[in-house]
Chain A
Amino acid sequence: NLLLTQPHSVSESPGKTVTISCTASSGSIGDNFVQWYQQRPGSAPTTVIYEDDHRPSGVPDRFSGSIDRSSNSASLTISGLKTEDEADYYCQSYDADYVVFGGGTKLTVL
């Protein structure tokens, strides 16, 4: 079964760039699309990236997604960090017909 592994936490300063990884095991990251969700404290998740590298309308272009088949991982990159980006981020993909979430990464902007 597909397992998606994320770092538990990352931190970076405002204005800098951070990359959050999502590494697949027991499956290929390229087999199905990857989505990324942002969850601020006390709120429901919202989509920041869908289908590997697409941004929903309203999501700043500071957010970008990519796939690296050589490392079997997906990445979410946030540039020009703002304090409002501090949140939990989850990757999500599929294993056959089943939905799989990564364990989540807490981003601290300090």
Chain B
Amino acid sequence: QVQVQESGPGLVKPSETLSLTCNVSGGSMSSSAYYWGWIRQPPGKGLEWIGNIYHRGTTQYNSSLKSRVTTSVDTSKNQFSLRLTSVTAADTAMYYCVCGVGTTFEYWGQGTLVTVSS
């Protein structure tokens, strides 16, 4: 069973870059059976898809965030990462890393709360 776990700073200053890493265990990141993604949830609000990255490095991003988002995979470390630049208070959210199988976000991390504040 695949397990994913987010890590990274819980506090980021406005205008700076948010960087998170997701550690993967129990599944091969090189497998075409899986894809990897990020989803966030502002406090008290709904889920917002950030983007996906596939085993060959293809990426898809939410059009509203595309200009500020970068995702990458490091199969040697069993990790994938998220970078979100020029953050504002509106980027304060619980950030989840996920493993997708077929049409479904099958495996979720527990989430990491990132607060944007000076």
A44-B109, A97-B60, A98-B63 known; A35 and B104 CB under 8 Å? yes
User: Are B47's CB and A45's CB within 8 A?
Assistant: yes
User: Are B102's CB and A99's CB within 8 A?
Assistant: no
List of B residues within 8 angstroms of A101 by Cβ: 46-49
User: Are A44's CB and B111's CB within 8 A?
Assistant: yes
Whether B86 is near chain A, meaning CB under 8 Å from some CB there, is no
Q: Give the size category of B's interface with A.
A: 10 to 19
A73: min CB distance to chain B, Å: 18
List of A residues within 8 angstroms of B103 by Cβ: 32-33, 35, 50-51, 94
User: Are A44's CB and B108's CB within 8 A?
Assistant: yes
List of B residues within 8 angstroms of A94 by Cβ: 103
Whether B75 is near chain A, meaning CB under 8 Å from some CB there, is no
Complex Cα gap A45–B52 (Å): 17
A45-B108, A50-B104 known; A103 and B46 CB under 8 Å? yes
Q: A46-B108, A99-B37, A99-B49 are in contact. List 4 more A-B contacts (CB 8 A).
A: A50-B103, A90-B46, A103-B46, A104-B46
Q: Which 10 A-B pairs have the closest CB atoms?
A: A99-B49, A44-B108, A104-B46, A50-B104, A33-B103, A101-B47, A103-B46, A97-B60, A35-B104, A47-B104
